[in-house]
Every structure is written in structure tokens, then in C-alpha cells.
């Protein structure tokens, strides 16, 4: 199976990849800088890391919360 490329606008796919790589992540203590580091280190991340902003990161974090049902 080919690996999916991840871009900043594919937030749901990023969340799924984060959940797989970090199943025990404590979202309460996860800051935006650490979230950014984790995202750009994901296998398949293909976007420009400089294009991120706080709104994108907060949206990904919100979606992650919703996906795990916190």
C-alpha cells in the first residue's frame, strides 16, 4: 500500500497519523510547538513546514481531541 502524502490542509489524515504514531499522547500537555514537531516528523509529511500557523495547529489539535473523544 502506498503511503499517503500529508499536507497542512489534510487535517483528518494528519490526526489519524498522529493517533497511530502517538497512541498514548497526553493532549492536555501538548503544546503547539511540540505538535508542530510531531507533525513534520510524520512519515509522508510532504508540505512546507514554514506554511503552518497557530490556527492550523489548533485546528489539528481540536480534531485530535474530537477523534479520541476527550
For the chain, the domains span 11-68
Beta carbons of 57 and 36 less than 8 angstroms apart = yes
> How far apart, in whole angstroms, are the C-alpha atoms of residue 8 and residue 56?
7
Q: Is the pTM of this model over 0.75?
A: yes
| Residue 9, pLDDT score | 95
pLDDT digits (tens, 9 = 90+) for 30-65: 999 999 999 999 999 999 999 999 999 999 999 999
**Cell, residue 35:** 505538535
User: What are the φ/ψ torsions at residue 34 (nearest 5 degrees)?
Assistant: -65, -40
Indicate the pLDDT class of residue 69, thresholds 50, 70 and 90. confident
pLDDT at 70: 61
The predicted pLDDT at position 51 comes to 96
Is the model's pLDDT at 1 over the cut of 50?
no
How far are the Cα atoms of 9, 21, 24, 33, 68 from residue 53, in angstroms, in the given order? 12, 22, 25, 10, 23
Domain 11-68, CATH number (from 2.60.40.10, 3.40.50.970, 1.10.10.600, 3.40.50.1220): 1.10.10.600
Amino acid at each position: 500500500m502506498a503511503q499517503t502524502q500529508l499536507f497542512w490542509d489534510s487535517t483528518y489524515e494528519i490526526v489519524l497519523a498522529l493517533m497511530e504514531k502517538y497512541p498514548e499522547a497526553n493532549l492536555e500537555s501538548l503544546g503547539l510547538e511540540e505538535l508542530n514537531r510531531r507533525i513534520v516528523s510524520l512519515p509522508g509529511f510532504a508540505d512546507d513546514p514554514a506554511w503552518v500557523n497557530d490556527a492550523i495547529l489548533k485546528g489539528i489539535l481540536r480534531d485530535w481531541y474530537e477523534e479520541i473523544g476527550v
